[in-house]
Structure 1
Amino acid sequence: MKNKIPSNNKNVKLAILIDADNASVSKIHELLVFTAHYGQATVKRIYGDWSKPALSSWKEPAREYSFRLIEALPYVKGKNTTDISLVIDAMDLLHSGSVDGFCIVSSDSDYTLLAQRIREEGMLVLGYGENKTPESFINSCKEFKFSDKTDTTSIKSTNNETPDSMLKKEAHLFEKAYNNASNDGKSEVTLSQLGMAIKKLLPKYKPRRYGCKTLGEIYEKLGTYLIVPTDVKGMYIVERKS
């Protein structure tokens, strides 16, 4: 089978729960490759209102990758019951003892409390979604993988990580942003140029993730740059220390 996903740890049983309203069907193979690093997917379910034409593209991949399609019909017009259905199943699985961990596939902050509750039981919690995912959900997972970013910009969150350790781990991205912004060989660039450069590498980066309030504070914290004010109000130059 060409799309068979090998598991690196078959002793760890995982439940992969996908919110079809808040996930990309085109990333299902990459999702399974990601979870295979942690264990074997023994429960694979996709939740949605399958009467919606917009969700029809999930049906063939679900068959190919052996996912169950779980119907979540709305009982009131305009209301989405997908998240409630997914949470109920997750809690049933949590208390059944049939799995060792979960991967919640969504970009919706509504799953933050679910991730926290699973984590409180000492179980593995993985997340998979787009870079628009709120930090509250991201930080509730042991690891959160961005479906619309490259491997170099996936975010790992553990209880042992601090803002300083996160900056140390991702300092190379800020260095790369500086090099990209100064591609003309100049030794200094404006802070706004750096802002545009870093957003290409980390589209939804937030300074507070690194214990800072601004991008300028991040570069100062790196220790190899100087932030110099200019004669123009609000404009700053970032220089690499010699």
Structure 2
Amino acid sequence: MKKDKICVENPAQRVAVLVDGDNASSAKLQDVTELAGRYGEVIVKKIYGDWTKTGLSSWKEPAKEFSYRLVEALPYVKGKNTTDMTLVIEAMDLLNSGNIDVFCIVSSDSDYTPLAMRIREEGLIVIGYGESKTPAAFVNSCKRFVFSDQIAQSGSNPGKGDTPGILLKKEADLFDKAYELAIDGKEEVTLSQIGMALKRIRPKFKTRRYGCKTLGAIYERLDGYEVMQTGIKGIYNVVRKKSSLQ
């Protein structure tokens, strides 16, 4: 098992998102996906549950939309839940494969505390995501824990007083992150590359939310950026103004 130093928000990292379908809300799947995307490339996305239960049917549409695999965890004894055991077994398989750098465990169940501790022992990052009722043991076993009921849903409808211009100012850090993710040490970056980075961070990103028809129009309105022609029709570069780097 490699012992390389793992960095937060490194686009080269490989991320696994493991969701306890019995212990999480399907309405938060977009938020989870965006969170995981900030830590690298999400290459494993799985939701675990007994899919014969009608109560879990709400997962099916968001799973399709965000490309998650639904993993069956049938109970072999009446009244017993095997979801957590199935998730743990697959997490250990991923850990032993050496192909994952960051694990995102979505649950409010303290049963995942030993799993998080074991993954951390290998020098890897564990991100937890669950409700504020989550026991402290699981919260503290993670590198970072996000409380789903204490943050606004990413990409939610704007408030009554939020005009597109106000929203752009409020969410300017989203475009800063997309720029940094896309440029990744290169000398220049195109609008299309930034657009792909934005889709990784926020899969449902829409320019009209900010009162603009194009992504280029958004960066032209942001402080600290310039949109420049490349000489090739339809291709534009985005550059940071020198004043914004000082």
TM-score by length of 2: 0.57
Q: Name the counterpart of 2:44.
A: 43
Matches within 5 A, 1:28-177: 28-150=29-151
1:22 aligns with 2:23: yes
Q: Distance in 2 between matches of 1:150 and 1:128?
A: 11
Q: Name the counterpart of 2:182.
A: none
Q: Which runs of 4+ in 1 moved over 2 A?
A: none
Q: Distance in 2 between matches of 1:122 and 1:83?
A: 23
The answer to whether the Cα contact below 8 Å between 1:9 and 1:36 also exists between their aligned partners in 2 is no
Q: Distance in 2 between matches of 1:31 and 1:19?
A: 12
CA shift digits 1:21-79 (9 cap, x unpaired): 00010011111111222112100000000000000010111111000000000000000
Q: Distance in 1 between matches of 2:45 and 2:36?
A: 11
| 1:84 counterpart letter in structure 2 | M
SS of structure 2 residue aligned to 1:22: coil
Q: Distance in 1 between matches of 2:130 and 2:116?
A: 14
User: Which structure exhibits the higher relative contact order, with contacts defined as CA atoms closer than 8 Å and separated by 6 or more residues?
Assistant: 2
The answer to whether the Cα contact below 8 Å between 1:47 and 1:86 also exists between their aligned partners in 2 is yes
- Offset of residue 20 of structure 1: 0.4
- The size of the alignment, in residue pairs, is 145
Gaps of 5+ in 2: 1-8, 153-246
Structure index of larger Rg: 1
CA shift digits 1:69-126 (9 cap, x unpaired): 0000000000000000000000000000111110000000000000000000000100
| 1:91 counterpart letter in structure 2 | M
Q: Distance in 2 between matches of 1:60 and 1:98?
A: 28
| 2:32 counterpart letter in structure 1 | L
SS of structure 1 residue aligned to 2:105: strand
Q: Distance in 2 between matches of 1:69 and 1:35?
A: 18
Gaps of 5+ in 1: 1-7, 152-242
How many percent identity over aligned positions? 63
Q: Which moved more, 1:130-139 or 1:37-46?
A: 37-46
TM-score by length of 1: 0.58
Q: Distance in 2 between matches of 1:88 and 1:19?
A: 13
Q: Distance in 2 between matches of 1:40 and 1:106?
A: 21
Q: Distance in 1 between matches of 2:15 and 2:101?
A: 6
Q: Name the counterpart of 2:193.
A: none
